[in-house]
Amino acid sequence: MSTAVAAAPAGVAPRSRSTLTGTGALVRFVLRRDRVRLAVWTGSIVAFYAYFTFALDTIFASPVAQQGRAAVMETPAGIITGGPGYGLDHYTTGVAMANEGITWVVLALAIFSILHMVRHTRAEEESGRSELVRATVVGRHAPAVAAAITLMVVQAGIAVLSALAMVAVGDLAAVDSFAMTVGSALSALVFGAVALVVCQVTAHARSATGLGLAVFGAAFVVRAVGDMRATGGSTLSWFSPIGWAQQMRAFVDLRWWPALLSVAAIAVLLWVAAVLASRRDFGGGLVAGRPGRADARASLRSPVALAWLQQRGALLWSCLGLGLMWFATGTLLPEIGTMIGDIIADNPVAQQVFGADSSQLSVIFLNVVILYAVLCCAGYAIVMAQRPKHEESSGRAEVVFSHPVSRYRWFGAQLAMAALGTAVLLAVSMYAMWLGAVVVGWEDQTFGDYTAVVWTYLPALGVYLGLVAALYGWAPRLTGVAWALLAYTFVVGLFGNLFEIPDWAFKLSPFDWVPMAFSGDLAAGDVAVLWAVAVLLAALGFVGFRRRDLVTS
Amino acid sequence: MTTTAPGATPAIETHDLHKHFGSTRALDGLDLTVAVGEVAGFLGPNGAGKSTAIRVLLGLLRATSGSARLLGGDPWSDAVSLHRRVAYVPGDVTLWPNLTGGEAIDFLSRLRGKPDKKRKSELLEAFELDPTKKASTYSKGNRQKVALVAAFAADVPLLILDEPTSGLDPLMEAVFTEQVRRATANGTSVLLSSHILSEVEKICDTVTIIRAGRAVESGTLDELRHLTRSSVTAVVDGEPSAVARLDGVHDLATVADPEGTRITFDVDNAVIGQVLTALSSLGVRSFTAAPPSLEELFMRHYGDELPGGDGSTSDGGGAAGTGRHAAASEAGAR
C-alpha cells in the first residue's frame, strides 16, 4: 500500500510543470549554441551607445552646436529618424541620446529579438531539429520559454552594460541612463513577444520573421506620424511600443510608468502565444495547409519560371510594404517644405548650418529620404541575389543540374529575376512617393524627375547584385560581404560630410557616383561607370560559377 | 553475366579518377565501369566516396585528375547535352517548399523536354504518392518518391540512383525494384549506389565495392563470391587439427558433438578442393557449406579493419585491401 502511494508522484510529474520540463537545459543550450552571435549583438549595441554618447559629447559639445542639432530635430526628417522632441530647448548630450538614440536602439534590439525568437522556435520546428529535442523529456512550451528567457537575460545584460557605458563615457545621470536602456529593452521585447505569437500562426520561419518585421515597420510609422503631429507626441504616438520607451522622457523629466505599458503588452502577448501554441500541432501553424495542384501550370517549364515562382512572394510584400511607407512619406512633403521654410526664417542657427536657401534644403532632405528608399532596394537586391546560394546549399540546385540545364542558364535566371525585382521595387518606391506628394498637391518634383531618379540609381543597385554574383561565383561563403558595402554606403551617404572623409572613401560608395536627385544636373554623376562595374562583376560571377564545384551537403 | 558487346562504349567509365577537397582525397584513383544495359551496384559505407563519384559523373563537381566518360561524353563539359539522356535520384531529396509534389515532377520533366503524362500518373499510382501536397509537408520517403517518379518517368538510357530507397518502406522498395527491372528491360543502364545489400543482391548484375575513394572489388556477384570464402560446418570423427593447419582455412572452431566433433570454419573458395580431401579423411558425418552473402563480402572489406580506423590508417588499409585482392585473383587463376 505505502509503496503504491509513494510510486505515483514519482512516475508522473505534476501537471503544471510538465509543459515546461527541460526549460533549464534548453536555456543553457541556447546560450551555448549562440554564444558568439549573442556576444556580437551585445557588443555592437553597447558600442553604439558608447560611441553615440562620445560623439555627442565631443563633436556637439558647444551649446550652439547642440541647439543647431535641436533645430534639425524639429524638422520632420529629424522626427522620423529621431524622437518626439522632449527637451529641445536645452539640448544636452543626455537629452539628445534619449531623443535620437532610442529609435535606433529599439530598431536594432527589435530585429535582434525577432530573429532570436524565430530562430529558436519556429525555425527549429520547421527544420525538424526541434523534433529530436521534443522527443526527449522536454515539455511542450519549454523551447519557446527557453527562447524568451534567454532573450530577456541578454536584453537585461545589454541594458545594464549600455547604461554603464553611458555613465562612464558621457558622465550622464545614472538613473536616466538606466531608464533609457531598460525602456528600450522592454520596448524591443514587445516585438520579441509579437514574433512568438506569429510563430504560432504561420508554419514557416521566413513568414514569421517577415510578419514580425512588418509589425515593427508599422510601429515605426505610427510613432513617426504621431510625433509629427505635436512636439512631445500625440495620442497616435502611444499606439507604438517605440513611443513607450521615448515617452519615459529620460534626461528631461523622467517618468517610469510608460515602461509598464511594455511590460503589460509583453505579458498579454506571451499569454496569447501560449494559448495559440496549445491549440496547434507540432510543426503546423494555425492556418491549415490546403491541397495544391497535382500538375504544374503550363508556364512552369524553365529555370526562369521557377525563379519567378520563388521570388514573387517576397517581391509582392516588399512592394506593398515599402510602397505604402514611401507613399506616406510623399504625403508629408508639403508639410516638410513649409516647416523648413519656417525654420530657416526663424532660426539663425539653422541658417548657419544649412544655408539660407530653403528650396535647396528641401532637396537635400529629399535626397536623404531617397537614400533610405534606395538602400531598402539594395537590401532586397542582396537578399535576392543570395537566393542561388540557398538553392545550392539546400540541394535543390543539384536536382536541377542533373537535368539538361547549364550553369549559365540557371544562374542567369536567378540573377535576372533578382535584378528585375529590384528594378520593380525601386520604381514602385519612387512612384509611390511621387503619388503621395501629388495626392496632397505637392508638385515640385514631377513624374519625370522621379523617373530620372529610378534610371540613375538602377546601375548603383546593379553594383550590389554584381558584387553578390561575383562573390557567389568565386567564394560563395563570402556573399554576406555585400552587407558591409550596404552599411558603408549608408554611413558615407548620411555622415560622410560630417566626418570629412577623403574623396576616395566617398568613391567607394556606389551611390556617390549617382547624380544628386532632383538637382536638375544629371550629368554630374558617372552612371556609366556604375553600369560597367555592375556588368563586369556579374560577368565575373558567371565565369566563376561555371568553373567551380557545386557546393553539396 | 556482363552483356557488353566487345568494343561497345560503356555507359559509365572512369579511370584513375581523383577528386580532392583541400587535403581530403574523396576519390583516390577510382576505376568504375558500367556496361550498356547493365545494373551496376555501387557499394560502400558512408564517406567512402560514392556520392562524390556520382556528382563528378553528373558534372556537379570537377574531377581533380583522371578520366570519366558518361555515355561517351565528358561529364563536365558536355553536362547539358548528356543530362538529356540521364536521370538522377539523390539520396536526400530536397524540394521547393512552395511547390506541390506534382508540380515539382512536372517542372523537372519539362526541363528534360518530353514529359509523359500517362507515365507520370502510372508511377504516382504505383508509388502511392499524393501529388497535391506541398513539398514542405512531405516526409523523407515521400520526397524520395517525387524524385523517383520524375526519374522513372523519363525515357533515358542511363539511370543514376544514389541510395534511392532510403526512407521507403519494404512495399515501396518492391515497387522500386520492379521499376528498375522495367527500365532495364528497355535497355536502360543503371548505376545503383546503396548500402542495402539485399537490394543490390536482388537487382544488380555487377558490383563495385569502394573504400576510401577507390574500388577494392568489382565484378559480377558470382565472381566476387568465387574470390572469397565459404562458411563450412561439418561433424567429423577424427581430430581436425590437420584441417586447421591448411592454408586458406580461417577461424576454425570445434565443439564436442554426440556424433563426433563439430567444426566450423571459413575457407577460401580457391582451396576448397584440398580442404574437402583433408576433411573426408577424417570421416565426415554431416556437412554443409554456404556461399558468402554479399553482407559477408562487404564486412570482410570493412569489418576486419575497423579497429584503429582513423583517416591515416584507412589509406594504408585500402592499399592492403587491393593487395589482398590481387593475391586472391592470383589464387583464383591457379
Residue B82's CATH number = 3.40.50.300
CA dihedral A333, A335, A338, A339 (to 10 degrees): -110
Residue A501 lies in a domain: yes
A289/B137 CB distance under 8 A: yes
Task: Out of A292, A310, A406, name the one closest to residue B100 (CB).
Answer: A292
Number of domains in chain B: 2
A404/B112 CB distance under 8 A: yes
Residue A9 lies in a domain: no
Length of chain A: 553
**What domain range is A278 assigned to?**
20-286
Q: Are residues B166 and B17 in the same domain?
A: yes
Distance CA A32, CA A52 (A): 30
Q: Are residues B266 and B242 in the same domain?
A: yes
Test mutation, B18, B60, B120, B123, chain A, max A CBs within 10 A: B60
Q: Are residues B70 and B141 in the same domain?
A: yes
Q: Are residues B201 and B286 in the same domain?
A: no
Q: Is A204 on the interface with B (CB under 8 A)?
A: yes
CA dihedral A348, A349, A354, A360 (to 10 degrees): -30
Q: Are residues B17 and B69 in the same domain?
A: yes
Q: Are residues B190 and B69 in the same domain?
A: yes
A401/B79 CB distance under 8 A: yes
Distance CA B214, CA B50 (A): 10
Q: Chain B partners of A128 at a C-beta cutoff of 8 Å? A: none
Q: Are residues B74 and B129 in the same domain?
A: yes
3-state secondary structure A402-413: CCCCCHHHHHHH
CA proximity to A427, closest of A460, A443, A450, A459: A450
| The predicted structure's pLDDT at residue A3 | 42
Q: Are residues A199 and A307 in the same domain?
A: no
Q: Which stretches in chain A have pLDDT values below 70?
A: 1-17, 77, 287-289, 335-359, 498, 520-525, 553
Q: Are residues A195 and A328 in the same domain?
A: no
Alpha-carbon distance A404 to nearest alpha carbon in chain B (angstroms): 4
Q: Are residues A306 and A434 in the same domain?
A: yes
Q: Are residues A261 and A404 in the same domain?
A: no
Distance CA B251, CA B267 (A): 9
Residue A2 lies in a domain: no
- Phi, psi at residue B196, to the nearest 5°? -90, 100
Alpha-carbon distance B98 to nearest alpha carbon in chain A (angstroms): 8
Q: Are residues B144 and B170 in the same domain?
A: yes
Q: Give the pTM.
A: 0.73
Alpha helices in A121-141 (DSSP H): 122-127, 129-134
Residue A297 lies in a domain: no
| The predicted structure's pLDDT at residue B302 | 66
Distance CA A80, CA A497 (A): 21
Q: Are residues A171 and A230 in the same domain?
A: yes
Q: Are residues B219 and B281 in the same domain?
A: no
For CA atoms B68, B71, B76, B77, give the dihedral sign: positive
Q: Are residues A120 and A207 in the same domain?
A: yes
Residue A370 lies in a domain: yes
**What domain range is B206 assigned to?**
12-224
Q: Are residues B130 and B272 in the same domain?
A: no
CA proximity to B55, closest of A445, A476, A553: A553
Cβ within 8 Å of B, A 397-436: 398-406
Q: Are residues A278 and A314 in the same domain?
A: no
Question: Where residue B277 sits, what CATH number does that domain have?
Answer: 3.30.70.120
Helices A303-331 and A358-385: angle between axes, nearest 10 degrees: 160
Q: Are residues A104 and A132 in the same domain?
A: yes
Q: Which residues pair with B201 in a beta bridge?
A: none
Residue A291 lies in a domain: no
Q: Is B114 on the interface with A (CB under 8 A)?
A: no
Q: Are residues B80 and B34 in the same domain?
A: yes
CA proximity to B210, closest of B52, B20, B36: B52
| The predicted structure's pLDDT at residue B147 | 94
Helices B170-185 and B117-126: angle between axes, nearest 10 degrees: 150
Instruction: For chain B, 334 residues long, give each residue's pLDDT as a single digit of tens.
Output: 444 445 578 999 999 999 999 888 999 999 999 999 999 999 888 888 999 999 999 999 999 999 999 999 999 999 999 999 999 999 889 999 888 999 999 999 999 887 889 999 999 999 999 999 988 788 889 999 999 999 999 989 999 999 998 888 989 999 999 999 999 999 999 999 987 777 888 899 999 989 889 898 888 877 777 666 788 888 988 888 888 888 888 888 888 888 888 998 888 877 888 888 888 888 888 888 887 777 777 777 665 554 433 433 333 333 333 333 333 333 333 3
Q: Are residues A453 and A354 in the same domain?
A: yes
Q: Under DSSP, is residue A453 helix (H, G, I), strand (E, B) or coil?
A: helix
Q: Are residues A124 and A191 in the same domain?
A: yes
Q: Centre a 10 Å sphere on the Cβ of residue A87 and count the other Cβ atoms it contains.
A: 21
Distance CA B96, CA A311 (A): 12
A404/B80 CB distance under 8 A: yes
Q: Chain B partners of A289 at a C-beta cutoff of 8 Å? A: 133-134, 137
| The predicted structure's pLDDT at residue A399 | 92
Distance CA A549, CA B15 (A): 20
| The predicted structure's pLDDT at residue A329 | 82
ipTM of the complex: 0.74
Q: Are residues A317 and A255 in the same domain?
A: no
Test mutation, A402, A410, A553, chain B, max B CBs within 10 A: A402
B58/A402 CB distance under 8 A: yes
B113/A547 CB distance under 8 A: no
Mean pLDDT, chain A, as a whole number? Answer: 87
For CA atoms A12, A13, A19, A24, give the dihedral sign: negative
Q: Which of B224, B250, B267 is the last residue of a domain?
A: B224
B110/A405 CB distance under 8 A: no
Q: Are residues A280 and A399 in the same domain?
A: no
